[in-house]
């Protein structure tokens, strides 16, 4: 397998707003991503998953260490690494198809070709009949599907998804998870998917990478070789795996949070 993305001993420091405190967000993170993998990054919130993704996209640069995309250091964002953002990122004054076409803004294609690509991508996410609608008339799930279609239109080499469905309801999220999986299967793309849902990671990932509580470090990895269509979270192997992941999440995650919780219980009983 070809290595498509490699993080080598990456450190990242953030300054707080007053610039009086520096915080270590990523602590010596190394990660190798092979072509065609579906990697799920999980970990407690605030552990640096999103930072890792931003570094891989090229929105930010590592404080120390380097990230290589096909052997070259990443210096700025590029359409080769398409990001689906957590927050809604559509342009309100463009209708759905124009938003998807905007993904092709940096490419020299004729308007006709752009239209064709945009329609194909919209069809792939099942929104072709909403092409003329403005985003403000769409539900949250539909907005994220348009954002996915826009990223697909760019025809990126690797898709970076930053908790794209975390603000959606359970039903919609499940449906969109399936769509992402279908796209991964059809387009043979590499996907890096940040999530805080263990179920989502178990259903989608070929590899699950777990980050520790801040400062973020990779503390564990699981490879899942079972075919996606045969995955059933009710089977014993998956429940066991889920137990294992959840318990490692708990032991690593913030001790202070944990004590806070137990204190609360005591208060209620008293």
Among 3, 45, 105, 239, binds another protein (CB under 8 A): 105
101: nearest Cα among 129, 84, 83, 121: 121
Cβ-based neighbour number of residue 128 at 10 Å: 16
Is residue 71 within the footprint of another protein (CB under 8 A)?
no
Query: Rounded distance, CA 220 to CA 41, Å?
Result: 11
Is residue 83 within the footprint of another protein (CB under 8 A)?
yes
Which burial class, exposed, middle or buried, applies to 20 when counting CB atoms under 10 A from its CB (0-12, 13-18, 19+)? exposed
Contact pattern for another protein over residues 39 through 58, marking x by CB under 8 A: ------------------x-
Is residue 166 within the footprint of another protein (CB under 8 A)?
no
Among 9, 15, 45, 87, binds another protein (CB under 8 A): 87
Among 11, 14, 102, 181, binds another protein (CB under 8 A): 102
Closest CB to another protein among 28 and 86? 86
What does DSSP assign to residue 107? S
Interface size with another protein, residues (CB under 8 A): 31
Is residue 198 within the footprint of another protein (CB under 8 A)?
no
Instruction: Identify each DSSP E strand in the chain by its residue range.
Output: 3-15, 22-34, 38-42, 64-69, 72-73, 81-84, 158-162, 190-194, 207-211, 218-223
**Least separation in angstroms between CB 163 and another protein:** 13
CA atoms within 13 A on the CB side of 178: 8
Among 81, 114, 143, 207, binds another protein (CB under 8 A): 81
* Cα dihedral 80, 86, 92, 95 in deg (nearest 10): 60
| Window of 38-46, 78-86, 213-221, 224-232 that interacts with another protein by CB under 8 A | 78-86
Q: Provide the token pair at 111.
A: 């308007």
**Least separation in angstroms between CB 84 and another protein:** 10
Is residue 164 within the footprint of another protein (CB under 8 A)?
no
Closest CB to another protein among 14 and 238? 14
Tokens 């990895």 belong to which residue? 221
Among 7, 47, 154, 201, binds another protein (CB under 8 A): 154
Closest CB to another protein among 105 and 182? 105
Phi, psi values for residue 228, rounded to 5°: -55, -40
Query: Rounded distance, CA 27 to CA 9, Å?
Result: 8
Instruction: Name the residues that contact another protein, by CB under 8 A.
Output: 57, 59, 76-79, 81-83, 85, 87, 89, 91-95, 102-107, 132-137, 150, 154
């Amino acid at each position: 397998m070809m290595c498509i993305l490699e993080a080598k001993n990456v450190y990242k420091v953030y300054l707080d707003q007053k610039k009086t405190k520096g915080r270590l967000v990523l602590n010596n993170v190394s990660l190798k991503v092979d072509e065609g993998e579906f990697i799920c990054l999980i970990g407690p919130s605030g552990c640096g998953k999103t930072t890792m993704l931003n570094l891989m996209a090229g929105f930010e640069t590592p404080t120390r260490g380097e990230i290589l995309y096909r052997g070259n250091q990443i210096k700025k964002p590029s359409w080769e690494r398409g990001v689906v953002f957590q927050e809604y990122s559509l342009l309100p004054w463009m209708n759905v198809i124009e938003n998807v076409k905007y993904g092709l803004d940096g490419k020299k294609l004729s308007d006709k070709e752009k239209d064709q690509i945009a329609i194909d991508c919209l069809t792939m996410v099942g929104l072709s009949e909403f092409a003329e609608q403005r985003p403000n008339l769409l539900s949250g799930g539909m907005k994220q599907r348009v954002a996915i279609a826009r990223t697909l239109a760019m025809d990126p080499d690797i898709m970076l998804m930053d908790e794209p469905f975390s603000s959606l309801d359970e039903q919609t999220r499940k449906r969109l998870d399936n769509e992402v999986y279908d796209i991964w299967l059809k387009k043979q793309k590499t996907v890096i998917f940040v999530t805080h849902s263990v179920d989502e990671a178990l259903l989608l990932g070929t590899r699950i990478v777990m980050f520790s509580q801040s400062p973020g470090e990779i503390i564990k990895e699981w490879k899942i070789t079972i075919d996606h269509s045969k995955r059933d979270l009710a089977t014993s192997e998956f429940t066991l795996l889920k137990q294992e992941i959840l318990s490692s999440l708990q032991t690593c995650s913030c001790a202070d949070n944990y004590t806070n919780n137990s204190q609360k219980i005591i208060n209620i009983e008293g």
